[in-house]
Structure 1
Amino acid sequence: LAWGVALWSLATLLTPWAAAHSTLALLCVRAFFGLAEGVAMPSMTTLLSRWFPRDERASAVGISMAGFHMGNVVGLLLTPIMLSCIGISGPFILFASLGLLWVSTWSSGVTNNPQDSPFITRSELRLIQAGKQVHTPTNRAKPNPYLLLLLSKLPTWAIIFANMTNNWGYFVLLSWMPVYFQTVFNVNLKQAAWFSALPWATMAISGYYAGAASDFLIRTGHSVTSVRKIMQSIGFMGPGLSLLCLNYAKSPSCAAVFMTVALSLSSFSQAGFLLNMQDIAPECAGFLHGISNCAGTLAAIVSTIGTGYFVQWLGSFQAFLTVTAFLYFATTVFWILFATGERVF
C-alpha cells in the first residue's frame, strides 16, 4: 500500500509536466497513476480482515472510507480555488505532497499483521484473534483459490456485479456532478463545487453509521448474510430512487438534496459487498477485491464516457440517470438472490 501511494503521488506530481510535454506523455503518466492507485482498495481489504474481528469490520471500513470520501470534498473545494489563485500546477503539487507525507507516517507505524505491531496490547491481540476464531472454521492458512474456482461461484458474481454497479453510479456522480449543475442549472464552477461537495461530506458520515449499525446487528444475533443483504439493498435501492427523483429537480438546491440522499445511502454498500469479500474468502479477500475491482473499473470507464455520449445524443442528463437507477434495481435483485455471508473459499 505504501509503495502504491508513493508511486501515484509521484504520478500526480508529474501530471502538469506531462500535460505540457505531450498528449502521449500525459496518457502514460495517468495510466501509471491508475496502476499504482489500483492497490489501495485490495490492500485495505486485506489489512482490515487481519486487524479487526468480524463484528467490528464494518465500523472500521466506515471510518476508513470516511477519509476516502472527505478527500473528494477537499479536492472539489480546494481545486477551483487553487486553479484560480496559483495555477494549474498548484493542486497537483499539494495532493502529491500530502500523499508522500502520508507514506512516511504509514511506513513507520503500520505492520501487515497485528502480532507484528509494537503498538498493540496482548488483550487487543486476543480480541482480534478470538473474533476470527469464532467465524473461521480453521486457523490454518489456505492457498488462494484459482481464478476459475472463484468465478465458478454465484456469490463471487454477486460481489462483482455489485462492484460494477457501485462504481458505475459513483464515478458518474463524481465526474459529472459539477458539469450537471453547470449545464442544467447554469451555476458557475465555484458554486458547482460547493453543491458537489456536500453529498460527499454526508456520505462520509452515513458510511460510518452504516458500518456501526451493521456491526450492532451482527453482535445482537442477526446472521451475517441477512445483514449484508439489508445493507446492500439500502445501498442500491436508495440511490436508484433518488436518481429517478433527480430527474424532476427544479432548482440546484433541490438537486443537491437528491444527490446528497443518493450518495449518503450508497455508502451502505460499504457494509454490503465491500465487506462481503472478507466473509466469503477471508484468506484471499484482497485477491477477490482485485478481481471485482477490475470489473468495477471497467464499469466506471464505460459510465464516465457513456454519460458524455448520452447527454450529447439526447441533450439532457435524465435518460442516463434513469438507466443508472434501473441498473441499481437489477443488481439489488441479483444480490438478494445469490449473496451470502458464509465462507465459500
Structure 2
Amino acid sequence: MSNQFGWNSSTAGLVQSSFFWGYALSQLPGGWLAKRFGGRKVLEIGVLTWSFATALVPLLAGFMPGLVFTRILVGIGEGVSPSAATDLIARSIPLQERSRAVAFVFGGLSVGSVAGLILAPALIQHYGWESVFYLFGLFGIAWFVGFQTMVEQEASYAEPAANSSNHQEEKSQGSSLAELDESVKDVPWRAIFKSPAVWAMIYAHFCGSWGHYTCLSWLPTYFSEALNLNLTEAAWVSILPPLASVFVTNLAAQLADKLIASGVETTTVRKFCQTVGFLAPALCMIPSAVDLGLPPWEVVGILTAGLALSSFALSGLYCTHQDISPEYASILLGITSTSGAVPGIVGVALTGYLLDTTHSWTISLFAPSIFFYLTGTIVWLVFASSKPQNFSS
C-alpha cells in the first residue's frame, strides 16, 4: 500500500498508528462492558466489528480519512476483546491454572501473527494486497458465525434449571439502560487508582507495549532496509519472533503455575516472569542498537530470542489483573490496556518520524524500547503485587 500510494515513513507510521487510536479509546469501555454484560457477548461484537472493518480497507485505501476510519474501527473492535477474554478467565479459571489459561488464550496472538505472515506474502504476490484484508475479514466473520452456533448448541444442551439461571442472569444484566450509569458509579474508581500495584501495572503495560508495538510495526522494515533482506526474506524472518513466542509462552505458563502450586508466593512468581519478559528483549536489542556489525542472521536470531522471551509477560503482568481482583479484572485490564495502547499511537508514529529525520534505527526504534523495558522492570519489582485487594471495602 505504501508503495502504491507513495507514502513516506511518517505517513506509513500515521496509518499504522491510527489503529491504536480506536484501540486506546475502547479499552476502558470494553472492560466495563465485559463486567456489565459478560465477556462472551462483548467478545462476539468485538470480533464482528474488527472483521467487517478489515474487509472495508481495500475499498477506502485511496481515501486517507476513510482508511484511517477503518483502522480506528478495527482498533475499537480489537480493543474490547482482551478485557472480554480476561473476564471469562477470571470468572471460570482457578489461580493454580490461570497462567496456562492466559497463555493459551493470549498466545493465540502469536499463532495468528505466524499464520498471517505466512499467508500474506503469497496472497499479495498472486492476488494483490487487497486479498489479505478481504480474506482475514472473512475469517473473522466466519468465526463469529461459528461462535454463535456453538453458543446456541451449548444452550440447547443445558439443563432446564441451568437455563433458567442463565436466563435470570442475562435478564438482570440487560434489564434497563437506566441502570448503566449506576453500574459505572458502582466501580470503586478511587480505590483502584489509589493502589500502587495498579499503577505498577499501568506503567508496565505502557513499557511492554512500547517495545512490542514499535517492533511489530517496524521490524519488517528494519529487516528489509538495515539488514538488506528482500521482501520475501523479511516476511519470513518476521515470522520467527511470534513463532518462538508460541513455545516460550507455554513453557513460561507451565513454570509459573507449577511454582504457585508448589507454594511459591504468587507475587514472587509474577515479578520473576515479568522481569524476564522485560530484561530479555532489552538485552537482545543492545547488539542492534550499538551496531556491532554482526551478520544479518545473527542479528535476527538475537532479536527473535529477546522478543520470544518477552512472552513471559503473559505469566506476569497479564495474570496480575485476575490475581488481585477477579471481580474487577476486566476493568483493571481496560485501565492498563488504555495505557498500553498509547505507545501504539505515539510510539509507532514517532518511530517513523525519527527514522525520517535521523535515519538512525538506534534512535528511532531500539534506544526508546530499551529505556522503557529497563524502567518498567524497576517499577514492577518495587511496586507490583498479586495479593488480592478488596477495592469495594
Same fold (TM over 0.5): yes
Give 3-state SS (helix, strand or coil) of 1:254's partner: helix
Aligned to 2:309: 265
Aligned to 2:104: 63
C-alpha distance in 2 between matches for 1:280 and 1:16: 43
Aligned partners of 1:158 and 1:339 also within 8 Å = yes
1:204 partner letter: V
From 198, 201, 219, give the equivalent of 1:177: 219
Assess, with a 3 A threshold, how the Cα gap between structure 1 residues 51 and 179 changes in structure 2: closer, same or farther.
same
Aligned partners of 2:244 and 2:304 also within 8 Å = yes
C-alpha distance in 2 between matches for 1:79 and 1:251: 27
C-alpha distance in 1 between matches for 2:94 and 2:325: 15
Q: Are 1:50 and 2:91 an aligned pair? A: yes
Corresponding residue pairs, total: 320
Aligned-residue offset at 1:144: 5.5
Assess, with a 3 A threshold, how the Cα gap between structure 1 residues 244 and 102 changes in structure 2: closer, same or farther.
same
5+ unaligned residues in a row in structure 2: which ranges? Answer: 1-42, 160-184
C-alpha distance in 1 between matches for 2:146 and 2:94: 25
5+ unaligned residues in a row in structure 1: which ranges? Answer: 120-142
Q: Are 1:8 and 2:8 an aligned pair? A: no
C-alpha distance in 2 between matches for 1:236 and 1:24: 36
C-alpha distance in 2 between matches for 1:110 and 1:172: 37
- Per mean C-alpha deviation after superposition, the further-off stretch among 72-81 and 160-169 is 72-81
Q: Are 1:278 and 2:322 an aligned pair? A: yes
TM-score normalised by length of structure 2: 0.77
C-alpha distance in 1 between matches for 2:298 and 2:49: 40
- Per mean C-alpha deviation after superposition, the further-off stretch among 22-31 and 264-273 is 22-31
Aligned-residue offset at 1:213: 0.6
Q: Are 1:79 and 2:120 an aligned pair? A: yes
From 261, 275, 283, give the equivalent of 1:241: 283
- Per mean C-alpha deviation after superposition, the further-off stretch among 267-276 and 321-330 is 321-330
From 378, 381, 389, give the equivalent of 1:333: 378
From 123, 132, 135, give the equivalent of 1:94: 135
State the Cα deviation string for residues 250-303 of structure 1 (Å, max 9, x = none).
Answer: 222112111111111100000111110011121011111111111111122211
Aligned partners of 2:206 and 2:343 also within 8 Å = yes
TM-score normalised by length of structure 1: 0.88
- Per mean C-alpha deviation after superposition, the further-off stretch among 232-241 and 299-308 is 299-308
Aligned partners of 1:66 and 1:205 also within 8 Å = no
Aligned-residue offset at 1:110: 4.9
Q: CA RMSD in A?
A: 2.1
Aligned to 2:148: 107
C-alpha distance in 1 between matches for 2:307 and 2:261: 27
Aligned-residue offset at 1:25: 1.5
Assess, with a 3 A threshold, how the Cα gap between structure 1 residues 201 and 273 changes in structure 2: closer, same or farther.
same
C-alpha distance in 2 between matches for 1:144 and 1:195: 48
1:13-24 equivalences under 5 Å are 13-20=55-62, 22-24=63-65
Aligned to 2:369: 324
Aligned partners of 1:62 and 1:209 also within 8 Å = no
